[in-house]
Amino acid sequence: MPRTASALATASTAVFLFLILIAGLPNLSSSARAAATTTLDVHMFGESPTFDAGRPVVVAGVWHQIALNLSSTLSTPINLRAILPGSGSPSPANTYEWVRYQSNDSWADVRYGTFLRVDLSSDDGIHVVFGIGIDGEAGPGTWTFSASSGNSTLVTQSVEVQAPRVSYGISAADFQFRVDPFTPADLSSQIGSQHLRLIDQGNVPLRLTVSFDVLRSQLSLENSGVVTHPNSESMYYLHLASSPMPPQIVRVNGLANVSVLYVIPSSGSTLLVPTFQQPFGVTVQVGRSGYALKVVGGVVFQTLDTVHVDYGARTIWQVYVTGSQDVSFDVSASGVRLLGVSTDGHSISPPVTLALSPNSEYPLTIQIEADQAGPSTVTFTLHLLATGEVRTFTTAILVNGGPAGASSGAVLYLWIGGSVGASLVFGFVAYSQWEHRRGRMSPGALSSPRGIKAKRGYNARRRAQLQRRNSRTSGDRGETAKPRTKSGDLNGPRTSRMR
């Protein structure tokens, strides 16, 4: 019996230990499953993941997000470590460690306290995201990132750490805005396809910034929130929001620069400071649509560059003067007839003094008649009474039609007729010359196989002259000379005959 009691006690102890073991198995199996199925994802904040030879890439000096994807929730703290193997004693150049404490919902950079952002971190139990970064001067190369919880290693991943590279190009247009006088403006350069272009050739995201020497509160970037991602380009547009302005031309000097996004505020951030700036120009023309602005001594004169009118017709247009000093105004015409100048329906006789104001336009109506064909001009003269400056401005008058147009057609026909007549005369003269040469041919030449006497060269003519000279000499010596006859006279020497 004693043995039986002892055996029962031993069996009871064994069953108790077995139950304890069975109760602990679920926890062990859960931790093992979490370690076996955890994955690690890496990407720069706001960017898509990038890889180098199959390894995820971390760029030093900017914020990243490291996501742990668990198969089950964990109650023990989660440690994330980043180490550059074989790099010596721990420092920001080679070693980092971050911890997630689930018990009090907190995060920590346990080594430096600088390279973690809680606002970029999150935990829903299955997906644990660390918003972390490493110093811009950290050593580049293949690092080892590992996550663990308690005594279990959840995942280990090789990560390629790259040094930051800020490389970009900027191109800028010369921006042109036109605003109606004394009218508020709300304009975009996108309408005229005028833009700034930023090309990111580095490995960090960029954003364009601009500054201006004047109109600082009226000019801005329309799409300032646009991010230019690595190995891409973006276009930025200007926006003009201005209050009413008098006629004028405002020239603005602009400066385009870039800023690197998501920079970690550490000693290595000096490597991510852009150094290149791109100047560009902005012109704001406050004037009427279609009018040219002429500015002299604080006085603005607006007129049309060109006026079209039919021959024999009349036309009118208005010019406008604005300024802070009075002027003497005169107008003259060349090639057209100036019919008159008026303001507010009242005729005036230039030259006339105009009392100007910088806050209003002085309108003048010009009327002309195109009594002549061809290009003409109307010239305006402004004499600034306060400063003594004198300036002239011209409007071109293009006359359509008129006698000049009709005469040009007649000239064309006369030219064609003259050409035909000249051709006929030339042909007649050539034919007459041919007939004359043909009539002077000898009968022997006419009876030749081709009917044409061969031309005699210089040497042949020279020999014939010598022969004639020798023949005359022989006659002087008493020799009988042959009578000279014409080649065309077949009846011998000519004699005198009486009838």
C-alpha 117/C-alpha 154 separation (Å) is 22
* Dihedral of alpha carbons 408, 412, 414, 418, sign: positive
pTM for this prediction: 0.68
More confident residue, 390 or 406: 390
Q: How confident is the model at residue 244 (pLDDT cuts 50, 70, 90)?
A: very high
* Residue 117 near residue 129 (C-beta atoms within 8 A): no
More confident residue, 24 or 334: 334
Tokens of 490: 């077949």
C-alpha 76/C-alpha 82 separation (Å) is 20
pLDDT at 492 exceeding the cut of 50: no
At residue 330's C-alpha, the angle toward residues 329 and 335, to 5°, is 150
C-alpha 390/C-alpha 137 separation (Å) is 65
User: What pLDDT does 275 receive?
Assistant: 81
* Residue 142 near residue 160 (C-beta atoms within 8 A): yes
Domains in the chain (CATH in brackets) are: 37-162 (2.60.40.10), 168-286 (2.60.40.10), 292-403 (2.60.40.10)
Q: How confident is the model at residue 342 (pLDDT cuts 50, 70, 90)?
A: very high
pLDDT digits (tens, 9 = 90+) for 436-486: 666 555 444 444 444 444 455 667 777 777 877 777 655 554 444 444 444
pLDDT at 241 exceeding the cut of 70: yes
62 DSSP assignment: B
* Residue 195 near residue 189 (C-beta atoms within 8 A): yes
CB burial of 169-196 (b: ≥16 within 10 Å; e: otherwise) equals ebebbebebbbebeeebebebeeeebbb
